[in-house]
Structure 1
């Protein structure tokens, strides 16, 4: 059993290094949330809600565009743990009924549910890369900060400062993941 565990851990770390932590995906998240912050400042709240709802469908195509731009073929890479991604994404997507219900009945809750709900898969992704602290840290920090902004801020803050904070957390995560995966890659090349 320990040999299997060690081999699986090595494969997860290798994928993290090879794909540079899948940074094109959080880079797409950075773009989405930064655009939502801008929309919150220049357009009415009703427009923000619709942009947030339907714009979320652009995250994956943006990630593919960034992957092509940076020559990071995360979609073609397969490991022994790739199968965990489908249940992780299904689990994350289950937040949508709550988000839509909030949009219909208590729209001020929608930014909070969206910001936290769209991060529910991060711990599993972190586990798949053998980097749980980095990825779970993103989700936890994000949840705490967006809740604080949502609770302490004004309705305008919820569609401006909140998405700007999520974009900043994403960008910081992209930087951390890129640097960390480079270090792991260097370490693995020495072994």
Structure 2
């Protein structure tokens, strides 16, 4: 059993290194959520909610475009574990009926709904990358946006997106650190 666990742990780290930690995606997320924060200064909640929902669809294609620049070839990285990532992405997309319900009836909830809903895959993808940073990102993100939602209702359309953007950048830096650390561990084991 120990050999299987070691084999899986090795593959998780190898997958993270091969994918460059997938950092192009959180960088893309930071860009999109920054745009959402700026939009929060100009749009009312219903318009912001619609724009943010549509804008969330930009994250993945932008992440693909940033792969080369950020040395994060997550689409080219192959692993027996990559199916977990696909399942996680499908799972977060199952929330769209709830997001649309909120956007149509309670658009003020969209920043909270989108910020939390779009973080649910982080622990799962993080597991496939042996990433503790991914789990911490999700936990801190949910706590931070919930605190802002409760404590600062007038800042929901700006503070929540800017905090999410900042957390995405911190996650990208943390993932890069994990890639470097795992690369060293894998080289030592070889």
Question: Shorter-chain TM-score: which interval?
Answer: over 0.9
Verify: 1:146 aligned to 2:145, yes or no.
yes
Give the root-mean-square deviation of aligned CA atoms: 1.4
What is the CA distance between 1:36 and its match in structure 2? 0.4
What is the CA distance between 1:190 and its match in structure 2? 2.5
Partners of 1:95 and 1:7 in 2: CA distance:
34
Q: Tell me which residue corresponds to 2:4.
A: 4
SS at 1:70's partner residue? Answer: coil
Q: Tell me which residue corresponds to 1:169.
A: 167
What is the CA distance between 1:70 and its match in structure 2? 2.7
Tell me the TM-score normalized by structure 1.
0.93
What is the CA distance between 1:59 and its match in structure 2? 0.5
What is the CA distance between 1:139 and its match in structure 2? 0.6
Partners of 2:79 and 2:59 in 1: CA distance:
23
Verify: 1:51 aligned to 2:63, yes or no.
no
Partners of 2:70 and 2:159 in 1: CA distance:
29
For 1:71-150, what aligned pairs fall within 5 Å after superposition? 71-131=71-131, 133-150=132-149
Q: Tell me which residue corresponds to 1:187.
A: 185
Moved more, 120-129 or 105-114: 105-114
Tell me the TM-score normalized by structure 2.
0.93
SS at 2:73's partner residue? Answer: coil
Q: Is the Cα contact below 8 Å between 1:18 and 1:185 reproduced in 2? A: no
What is the CA distance between 1:113 and its match in structure 2? 0.6
Q: How many residues align?
A: 189
Partners of 1:64 and 1:50 in 2: CA distance:
23
Moved more, 101-110 or 64-73: 64-73
Q: Which runs of 5+ in 2 are unaligned?
A: none
Partners of 1:25 and 1:110 in 2: CA distance:
21
Q: Is the Cα contact below 8 Å between 1:31 and 1:167 reproduced in 2? A: yes
What is the CA distance between 1:11 and its match in structure 2? 0.9
SS at 1:72's partner residue? Answer: coil
Q: Tell me which residue corresponds to 2:68.
A: 68
Q: Is the Cα contact below 8 Å between 2:50 and 2:103 reproduced in 1? A: no
Cα distance per residue 1:58-110 (max 9 Å; x no partner): 11110011103234321121111111122211211122111111111111111
Higher helix share: 1
SS at 1:42's partner residue? Answer: coil
Cα distance per residue 1:99-146 (max 9 Å; x no partner): 111111111111101100000000001110112x32111111000000
Q: Which runs of 5+ in 1 are unaligned?
A: none
